[in-house]
Amino acid sequence: MDDRLNDPAFPSYDVIVIGGGHAGTEAAWAAASVLRDRGRVALVTMDPSRIGTMSCNPAIGGLAKGQIAREIDALGGLMGLAIDATGIMFKMLNTSKGPAVRGPRAQADKEAYRVEVQRLLCRAPNLDVIAAAVDDVIVEGGRVVGVELPAGAGVVHPRADRDRDSSGECPRSIYASHPRESDRCSRPLRLRSGSVVLTTGTFMRALMHTGADTTPGGRVDEGSADGISGTLQRLGFELGRLKTGTPPRLLRSSVDWDGLPGQQGDPDPKPFSDLTPDGLPGGRFPRLPQVECRMTSTTAEAHELIRANLHRAPMYSGAVEAESGPRYCPSIEDKVVRFRDRESHHVFLEPESLHTDELYCNGISTSLPADVQERIVRTMPGCERAEILRWGYAVEYDMVWPHQIDATCMTKSIHGFFLAGQINGTSGYEEAGGQGVVAGLNAARLAIGEGPVRLGRDEAYIGVMLDDLVTKTPREPYRMFTSRAEHRLVLRADNTDERLTEIGRRHGLVCDRRWELWRQRRTDLERIDRAIRHGRGDDGRPLDRIVMRPETTVPSVASRIGEADQGLVERVMTSMRYEGYIQRQKTAIRRQREADAKPIPSWIDPITVTGLRAEAAEALAKFRPSTLGQAGRLAGVSPADLALLGVAIRKGRGRTQSDGEPA
């Protein structure tokens, strides 16, 4: 048994992260990065060999999601490096539109992605991976003090050959499913920590539905975390129940692959990570062979079949307890019901791995019975003889309504207890990963006695997401869109390093190599900016004026100033073209920052604020915003209500001896 787990006075960790999904891995990595030589982190997960698993679509990025993935990378996270090492088709979306709404996306080899995340985690010497479910979260005096694990828990050690380049072989897990017998604890185990991050994904009291068949679990061949729901309710949290789904998987060799129109990636793909290619095994990008996807569609016949069997779909029959599902990634049942005039919907057939013959049917997520799924699939062009390897299913799961957390991801009722990922009502790997970075960062800072960090709406899509979560009640799993960001002109995928790498460095997330690369890139950007502003075109006109013309190309400007890196030239040109609009936004950004810098003291009771409308008092009491800026974004709170709240704060502070509780 590991000595730390044998010591009855121990085992103690500075940060404990529960869950090995995208939120959990980013949280563990962020916490380990911040603590480095100052503390230790435990990542507790039911099956360590499944760490980093892509439960649904094996892809990273997309519109707005790609910006979040790039932001995670700029803050020193794992996601960008993992997808660059394992991507099998890279594509920039929305290239016909402006750079502010373009989004990088990559199809992943899902098996390689999982193993790459595990390989990266192994590089953190102060991170222990513990195989166990969590039976209880221990709270004393309003503060988290640890977690309780069942007998049999123990540290899982990685394989000795974890760092080898296995790109030519079928990837295998770096962590075993269970600890060695000598590493198991023979009794229930309490891990002590004042910073705990809970990232349960879709596993809390989870049920999977395929027609009338119901199986406990949040993912195929994995169980359900039932006890933690009861623990959270006992601790006073208000739980909700959401639902999502996944489509059937097909055997590629049974599909008329060559007879379907192809979807190709970019010929000159752009990586997600600023460390690529230096940070990749083998030092090359793309690292893996690139593949094509194929496109097919549903048919009118399939739609009639779906309508005739809605009573057998748990989403519609009442078998699913959850009320809300993903509006923007709907099941095929939802599409057919909501868009009755449509005779077909696109379906993208996407390879899941270079090492399997499995296709992901992007576009027909479903909970219908197996016999109906088979008939639907075989009506699609090219799929007349398709063999289904795995049926689609719906999954319903418990979550915590996110008005109970702060934008740091710490819960408002329990000090040191953080929530990240789908437990907060979000959907998607990227949204989960972004929350994980923030939660891990703040959990580690709390452990070493440093103050919390919040990202503003003008700094990151991650900041927009967390602000939305703590000021609005989601009606369905939250998904990020560019339209949610009022400052999206400055929140582009190409400038995440400008916005966030210095913040990450200041708080201990960014390694020396990333920092040096950014400093050099910043110098190059400044040099290119000067060259354009002082340069002249062939006709003698100022080059910065010529850049404003929509017909001016990046290669023409790069050749004029003698710059080889056209990617950096494009960034500078984009900033110049948006410059006028950004200047107009700066006033709004300044006002927003001023409001977000004005804290609402914990002693304020909205019910007692004189003149405050009942609707505003109710919203303020429910959401308990941290700042006047957040309060102003609550539904039901008017500018007049904010003014009254500000007066109450000033009067209250006038009666205090300090900025703490009233005297």
- Amino acid identity, residue 114? R
> What number of CA atoms fall less than 13 Å from residue 231's CA on the CB side?
19
Pairing of strands 196-198, 15-18: parallel
Residues in the chain: 663
Rounded Cα distance, 642 and 639, in Å: 5
Looking at residue 562, what is its pLDDT? 94
pLDDT at 586: 82
DSSP string, 102-148: -EEEEEE-HHHHHHHHHHHHTT-TTEEEEE----EEEEETTEEEEEE
Residue whose tokens read 């974004």: 633
CA dist., res. 159 & res. 260, Å (int):
42
Q: Which of 254, 347, 341, 262 is nearest to 297 (CA)?
A: 347
The residues of the chain that CATH labels 2.40.30.260 are 249-265+284-396
Rounded to whole angstroms, how far apart are CA atoms 608 and 406?
Answer: 23
- Which residue, 446, 339, 415, 423, is CA-closest to 24? 423
For residues 631 and 611, the answer to whether their CB atoms sit within 8 Å is: no
Residue type, 589: I
Position 98: which residue type?
G
Query: At 110, which amino acid appears?
Result: K
**Looking at residue 657, what is its pLDDT?**
40
Which pLDDT value is given to residue 529? 96
Residue 41: partners with Cβ closer than 8 Å, 6 or more residues away? 13, 14, 15, 16, 17, 28, 31, 32, 35, 124, 126, 127, 128, 444
Question: For residue 163, what pLDDT is reported?
Answer: 53
Taking a C-beta distance cutoff of 8 angstroms, is the pair 20, 130 a contact?
no
pLDDT score, position 325: 53
Only one residue has tokens 């639902």, namely 243
Q: For the domain bounded by 606-654, which CATH number is listed? A: 1.10.150.570
Q: Where in the chain is the domain with CATH 3.50.50.60?
A: 3-243+397-506
Q: Which stretches of the chain score pLDDT less than 50?
A: 1-6, 9-10, 165-166, 656-663
Count of beta carbons in the 10 Å neighbourhood of residue 21:
30
Residue 589: CB partners within 8 Å, gap ≥ 6?
458, 487
Three-class HEC string of 546-604: HHCCCCCCHHHHHHHHCCCCHHHHHHHHHHHHHHHHHHHHHHHHHHHHHHHCCECCCCC
- Placement of tokens 């390694």 in the chain: 511
pTM exceeding the 0.75 threshold for the entire prediction: yes
Asked if 5 contacts 480 with a C-beta cutoff of 8 angstroms, the reply is no
pLDDT digits (tens, 9 = 90+) for 350-384: 999 999 999 999 999 999 999 999 999 999 999 99
CA dist 444 to 12, 36, 79, Å? Answer: 14, 10, 20
Long-range contacts of 512-521 (CB under 8 A, 24+ apart): 513/275, 513/278, 513/279, 514/76, 514/274, 514/275, 517/274, 517/275, 517/278, 518/274, 521/274, 521/497, 521/568
Q: What is the Cα gyration radius of the chain?
A: 26
Phi then psi for residue 82, to 5 deg, are -65, -45
Among positive and negative, which fits the CA dihedral 214, 217, 222, 223? negative
Read off the pLDDT of residues 594-629 as tens digits, 9 standing for 90 and up: 888 889 998 999 999 988 999 999 999 999 999 998
**CA quadruple 364, 368, 372, 376: dihedral, nearest 10:** -10
Other C-beta atoms within 10 Å of 516: how many?
10
Residues contacting residue 527 through CB under 8 Å, at least 6 positions apart: none
Distance CA 386, CA 347 (A): 14
Domain(s) of CATH 1.10.150.570: residues in the chain:
606-654
Per DSSP, the three-state class of 466 is helix
Residue 124: closest CA among 229, 243, 211, 28: 28
Alpha helices in 448-550 (DSSP H): 461-471, 496-506, 512-534, 543-547
Q: Which residues contact 75 (CB under 8 A, 6 or more apart)?
A: 30, 437, 441, 500, 501, 503, 504, 509, 510
Position 594 scores a pLDDT of 86
CATH 2.40.30.260 for domain 249-265+284-396, yes or no, is yes
The domain made up of 3-243+397-506 has a fold known as FAD/NAD(P)-binding domain (3.50.50)
Beta bridge partners of 138: 146
CA dihedral for 202, 206, 210, 211, sign (positive or negative)? negative
Per 3-state DSSP, the chain is made up of helix, strand and coil in percentages (nearest 5) of 40, 20, 45
Q: How far is CA 371 from CA 347, 368, 508, in A?
A: 19, 8, 53
